[in-house]
Structure 1
Amino acid sequence: MAFEPPRRLVRALGETAPDGDGWLERLPGTVRQAVALRGLTVERVQVPGGRSSLVLLVRTADGTPAVLKLAPRRARPECERAALAHWNGRGAVRLLEPFTTEGELLLERLHPDVSVRSLPEAKALLEAAGTLRRLWVEPPAGHSFESVAERTARQAAAMRAGAEADPEAAPLVDAALAVRDELMAEPPEDRLLHGTFRQSKVLAGDRMPWLAVGPDPVVGEPAFDLARLVRDRVEDLIAQTSGPSTTRRRVKRLAESLEVDQERLRGWTLFRAVESGVRARRVGREQDAELLLEFASWL
């Protein structure tokens, strides 16, 4: 099969592994082997696709529509597999096979071009939040998922380094790190979290109206998961003169609807927005950085 990886994927992988690791170069051969192993027929590459994986729309040998997802080890595809297996279709896309090959997931076919983001904003937030609630379950016994404490400690170290090189962002970084320390002092009960949840990660399905895809699972408090949803459509929020007040109302509404502590949600929203803004600036996505840091300043 001859194809070009989506530019979005190539660009994003270049940010996470600027010196390369050979995964993209090996990808054509990996695809051929994965397709042959399962007797699949490839329909097309999903474009723009994800930022850390190649997504192929395929049919199985009996004609069933499916998705073949291939991801490099640094994208933690085996953690994604473990989370999807634990959810077993509850609120999330379903695995169609047990472990076959590392970094290759065969998934049920959803409607890849129809995300909850296509709905009006208020309805989209409602449907996304309802989907997210179903994912918050007890993690499996003996799991190896990263914890919120571990993930944010790693991120905090990178944020400190970023602040040293960017004095303008330093006050926001200091505020975000301080609120993280407060939040980690008394963490609530742990749940299995999606980890990177947003409206574009919720696709239309057949067995359920909306199902989540593409988790980067982590174990911790639900407010951490919900925080990423607060800033969805951040470019629209920034364009509104009422952006700050709209954001505060969104925090309140989401916290109440999902029974999450409002101040903890505000704190994690601040931390995650600053972390994303500093990271965007570090890899040269200046426009994204400006949007995220301005949004964070409202919190």
Structure 2
Amino acid sequence: MREESIVVSPVVRRRAELLGAAGEEWLAGLPALVADLARRWSVTVGAPFRAGAGGYVARARAEDGTALVLKLALPEPGSAGQIATLLRAGGRGYVRVLDHDADRFALLMEHLGAPLSELALPPERQIAVLCATLRRVWQVPRSPDLLTEAADEDKATGLAVLVERLWRDLDRPCSVAAYDRAMTYAERRASAHRASRAVVVHGDPHPGNLLRLPASGTPRAGAESGFVFVDPDGFLADPAYDLGVVLRDWCAELLSGDARRLARRYCALLAEESGADATAVWEWGYLERVSTALYLLAHGAEAPSRPYFATAEILADVDVDGDGDGDGDGDVGA
């Protein structure tokens, strides 16, 4: 690949520009970096993938013809954590790393198939595959640094701060009821946080981040579900947090049917498939739904934020028992 042919998506370019001088330097040096890594790792770099917002991701091929993937992550704090998580995982529930350059946020990885989101499977089947792979992901070893971070601040507290700030800065774009429900759940999840019981979660395990092994590939240890995750955030949290992220989605299904019934059904299935507490999954899911809506709106993605806001309003009066009284004494799958 010629150096001048390197093109990044508008989303990646915007994220790089928001990083200031570091991002501008990364953009300017990207062609030379790709060329240098291609020589160093003896690969031919091909066309970039259109999906993804965390950096430059392109097809690559080894000298023996093996298909690979080159990823150059943006110079953000989370990029180092992503590489560390993938290396500790060693392919268990995650894409295999074949080589890396941590100082330059570069990864050479195995080539995978289509993401789960493109396979036209029903939500129930997607949830089952996501849970099966997450059970593998949660076995990734913890590092001392992660234990210290988890003891200092839990995810629920961080989300509460984000929701409160954005709700006020954006002039209250959702109802008081939705805001209050999210903050109540954040308080409950923060109170339940125990660093000693936390696992290394993926952090954003939506179907677009779960890719199928190549059809021609041989099943391998750590990928028993036939799928592996990419792009982990890799922080310590309650395993139910990852399941809440899964529950956060399905806006199209919820808005085209009985949203309350479907949301409770998906929550019950997530708990059954993972062994997690349904109440925790529900509360994390609602908190993620509201925080995601606010985050998208704050970053100029008004249209994508609307389904999250709409479903948050519908579910604002629904607690885990589905009766709206907030006592949590019923069956989430009712």
Same fold (TM over 0.5): yes
User: Is residue 45–residue 70 contact of structure 2 (8 Å, CA) maintained in 1?
Assistant: no
Question: What is the aligned length?
Answer: 295
2:300 is aligned with 1:264: no
User: Is residue 80–residue 214 contact of structure 1 (8 Å, CA) maintained in 2?
Assistant: yes
Determine the C-alpha separation between the residues in 1 that align with 2:28 and 2:254.
39
Most deviating of 1-10 and 142-151: 142-151
- Whichever residue aligns with residue 4 of structure 1, its letter is V
- Residue 21 of structure 1: SS of its match in structure 2? helix
- Whichever residue aligns with residue 203 of structure 1, its letter is L
Counterpart pick for 1:201 among 206, 209, 222: 209
- Residue 200 of structure 2: SS of its match in structure 1? strand
User: CA distance change for structure 1 residues 236 and 27 in 2, over 3 Å: closer, same or farther?
Assistant: farther
* Structure 2 gap ranges (5+): 319-334
Determine the C-alpha separation between the residues in 1 that align with 2:102 and 2:167.
43
- Whichever residue aligns with residue 163 of structure 2, its letter is M
- Whichever residue aligns with residue 162 of structure 1, its letter is L
- Whichever residue aligns with residue 167 of structure 1, its letter is R
- Residue 57 of structure 2: SS of its match in structure 1? strand
1:79 matched residue in structure 2: 81
CA RMSD between the two structures: 2.4
- Residue 6 of structure 2: SS of its match in structure 1? coil
* Structure 1 gap ranges (5+): none
User: Is residue 139–residue 219 contact of structure 1 (8 Å, CA) maintained in 2?
Assistant: no
Q: CA deviation at 1:286?
A: 1.5
Aligned-residue identity in percent:
22
User: CA distance change for structure 1 residues 74 and 141 in 2, over 3 Å: closer, same or farther?
Assistant: closer
Most deviating of 202-211 and 88-97: 202-211
Most deviating of 171-180 and 4-13: 4-13
2:31 matched residue in structure 1: 28
User: CA distance change for structure 1 residues 98 and 140 in 2, over 3 Å: closer, same or farther?
Assistant: farther
Matches within 5 A, 1:49-128: 49-74=51-76, 76-97=78-99, 99=101, 101-111=103-113, 113-115=114-116, 117-121=118-122, 122-128=124-130
- Whichever residue aligns with residue 161 of structure 1, its letter is R
1:234 matched residue in structure 2: 251
Determine the C-alpha separation between the residues in 1 that align with 2:184 and 2:250.
26
- Whichever residue aligns with residue 253 of structure 1, its letter is L
Determine the C-alpha separation between the residues in 2 that align with 1:100 and 1:194.
19
TM-score (norm 2): 0.80
Most deviating of 265-274 and 145-154: 145-154
User: Is residue 116–residue 208 contact of structure 2 (8 Å, CA) maintained in 1?
Assistant: yes
- Residue 69 of structure 1: SS of its match in structure 2? strand
Matches within 5 A, 1:10-29: 10-11=13-14, 13=16, 17=19, 21-22=23-24, 23-29=26-32
Determine the C-alpha separation between the residues in 1 that align with 2:167 and 2:115.
38
Most deviating of 20-29 and 72-81: 20-29
1:38 matched residue in structure 2: 41
Determine the C-alpha separation between the residues in 2 that align with 1:24 and 1:106.
19
User: Is residue 116–residue 127 contact of structure 1 (8 Å, CA) maintained in 2?
Assistant: no
Determine the C-alpha separation between the residues in 2 that align with 1:105 and 1:18.
23
Matches within 5 A, 1:121-270: 121=122, 122-137=124-139, 139-144=141-146, 146-147=149-150, 149-165=153-169, 166-169=171-174, 171=176, 172-187=178-193, 189-205=197-213, 206=217, 207=219, 208=223, 209-238=226-255, 240-270=256-286
Determine the C-alpha separation between the residues in 2 that align with 1:222 and 1:20.
34
TM-score (norm 1): 0.89
Determine the C-alpha separation between the residues in 2 that align with 1:84 and 1:293.
33
User: CA distance change for structure 1 residues 63 and 54 in 2, over 3 Å: closer, same or farther?
Assistant: same
